[in-house]
């Protein structure tokens, strides 16, 4: 019997995994509803209550849930799932029959301490439950139990992450389900998998508004406003093209200079990086420290609260990587930092993800992965105080540190 339950558990796990894979959003889009963020499967026991005739013994319980993203806040998750349990019907010491129930449910799960490896959750859901009983000697009991019932479920649980990003976690949950004739408690344990781990609890960026269509505007003042907007956009595009052209020329000149002067040491590297600083908008500064040259990337490299690089920043990091590639003997550290807004642990995790994203971009553009390491320090190493907007902007940074030989 237990083998059959395990086989069913694996089938449900495969189904949940397939649904998750097909409907999962891209990481940059966060996990806003609708879009599967993960799956969970649990095995345990159920203890039925409130039967008016014979006694229902403790039965076997199996559940599977799919996370469909968050509503409003990332810690409020939408959950849909299924639940099955089977129990014996006893009279005294004799087993007279059995009953089984299959339920589908949908509801909300509120998660607490989401940035920690150990977290808690509370669940509220509505359910539709089909009950089938088999009591050959007592049709009355069968009639009492058989049927389709609507009800609701309340529960609480804990999880313990198995990895640093909290993608895979062990979970334990207790639930109370209220349905006619077959109220029951369930105690289950299993595995939860979140596609983005702690990143699932970072708010998705707001959608970019559609450009305003002026085609149907009236003539006169609206037409003049449209002309001014078009002229401004044209000027911005021309300025951006000119800046990109200067940036490309500067990077090429720096590359040629490095190729011609390789072996002359750090001053050449510093000059090349400072040359990029003059033309790349996302480099906040290049400084020399006791550890080595520090290239500071400003807060514009990432969207607010997000760990993924913008397209422009990715291209600029590629130009930095081109220069660093000419110095294969230099070790590189990538360190992420945040301001003090938000939870300390969440800031640390975000800084780690941002540092890892910059490292991945450097490696993608040709820097040997063995030369680069990345870490995040959250709000623990500010450059200035966090009391003003400018101070917080200075503290939101990623530093590429080229260590001294």
Residue 390: the pLDDT is: 81
194 and 271 in a single domain? The answer is no
Residue 53: the pLDDT is: 45
How many separate domains does the chain show?
2
What are the distances in angstroms from CA 106 to CA 125, 222, 291? 5, 49, 55
387 and 266 in a single domain? The answer is yes
Q: Which residue has the tokens 């334990």?
A: 172
170 and 301 in a single domain? The answer is no
Q: Distance (Å, rounded) from C-alpha 24 to C-alpha 22?
A: 6
Signed CA dihedral, 177, 178, 180, 182: sign only:
positive
Burial 138-157 (b: 16+ CB within 10 A, else e): beebbebbeeebebebebeb
Residue ending a domain, among 180, 201, 222, is 201
46 and 139 in a single domain? The answer is yes
Structure tokens at 196: 């983005």
254 and 369 in a single domain? The answer is yes
Other beta carbons within 10 angstroms of residue 161's beta carbon come to 19
| Within a domain: 223 | no
Closest C-alpha to 214, from 201, 204, 223: 223
What are the distances in angstroms from CA 64 to CA 1, 7, 163, 198, 369? 19, 14, 21, 21, 40
| Within a domain: 102 | yes
78 and 176 in a single domain? The answer is yes
174 and 305 in a single domain? The answer is no
| Domain containing residue 16: CATH number | 2.40.160.20
| Within a domain: 206 | no
20 and 92 in a single domain? The answer is yes
Residues of the chain with pLDDT under 50: 2, 6, 13, 16-17, 19-29, 52-54, 208-209, 211-218, 258, 261-267
| Within a domain: 220 | no
Show the domain range for 95: 2-201
Give, as one character, the DSSP assignment of residue 67: E
Residue 171: the pLDDT is: 96
144 and 243 in a single domain? The answer is no
Give, as one character, the DSSP assignment of residue 25: P
Q: Confirm if 181 and 144 have CB atoms less than 8 A apart.
A: yes
Residue 11: the pLDDT is: 58
| Domain containing residue 337: CATH number | 3.30.1330.60
76 and 184 in a single domain? The answer is yes
Residue 268: the pLDDT is: 73
326 and 389 in a single domain? The answer is yes
The 10s digit of each residue's pLDDT in 100-147 is: 889 999 999 999 988 788 999 999 999 998 888 887 777 777 777 788
183 and 246 in a single domain? The answer is no
Sorted by sequence, the CB contacts under 8 Å of residue 194 that are 6+ apart come out as: 37, 38, 67, 166, 167, 169, 200
């Amino acid at each position: 019997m237990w083998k059959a339950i395990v086989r069913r558990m694996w089938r449900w796990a495969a189904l949940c995994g397939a649904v998750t894979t097909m409907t999962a959003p891209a990481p940059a889009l966060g996990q806003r509803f609708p879009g599967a963020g993960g799956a969970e499967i649990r095995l345990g026991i159920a203890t039925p209550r409130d039967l008016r005739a014979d006694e229902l013994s403790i039965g076997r319980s199996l559940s599977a849930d799919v996370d469909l993203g968050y509503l409003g806040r990332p810690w409020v998750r939408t959950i849909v799932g299924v639940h099955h349990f089977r129990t014996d019907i006893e009279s005294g010491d004799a087993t007279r029959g059995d009953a089984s129930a299959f339920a589908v449910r949908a509801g909300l799960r509120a998660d607490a301490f989401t940035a920690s490896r150990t977290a808690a959750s509370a669940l509220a859901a509505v359910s539709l439950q089909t009950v089938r009983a088999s009591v050959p000697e007592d049709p009355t009991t069968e009639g009492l139990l058989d049927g389709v019932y609507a009800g609701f479920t309340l529960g609480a649980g804990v999880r313990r992450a198995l990895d640093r990003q909290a993608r895979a976690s062990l979970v334990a949950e207790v639930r109370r389900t209220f349905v006619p004739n077959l109220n029951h408690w369930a105690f289950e344990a299993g595995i939860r998998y979140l596609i983005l781990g702690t990143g699932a609890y970072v708010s998705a960026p707001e959608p970019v508004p559609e450009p305003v269509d002026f085609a149907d505007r009236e003539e006169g003042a609206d037409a003049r406003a449209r002309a001014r907007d078009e002229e401004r956009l044209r000027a911005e595009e021309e300025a951006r093209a000119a800046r990109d052209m200067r940036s490309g020329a500067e990077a090429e000149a720096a590359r040629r200079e490095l190729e011609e002067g390789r072996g002359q040491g750090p001053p050449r590297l510093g000059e090349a990086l400072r040359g990029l600083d003059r033309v790349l908008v996302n480099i906040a500064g290049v400084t020399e420290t006791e550890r080595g040259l520090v290239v500071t990337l400003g807060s514009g490299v990432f969207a607010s609260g997000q760990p993924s690089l913008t397209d422009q920043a990715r291209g600029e990091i590629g130009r930095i990587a081109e220069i660093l590639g000419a110095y294969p003997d230099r070790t590189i550290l990538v360190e992420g930092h945040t301001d003090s807004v938000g939870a300390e642990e969440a800031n640390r995790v975000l800084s780690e993800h941002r540092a890892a994203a910059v490292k991945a971009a450097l490696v993608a553009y040709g820097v040997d992965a063995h030369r680069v390491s990345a870490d995040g320090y959250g709000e623990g190493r500010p450059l200035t105080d966090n009391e003003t907007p400018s101070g917080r902007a200075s503290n939101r940074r990623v530093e590429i540190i080229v260590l001294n030989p």
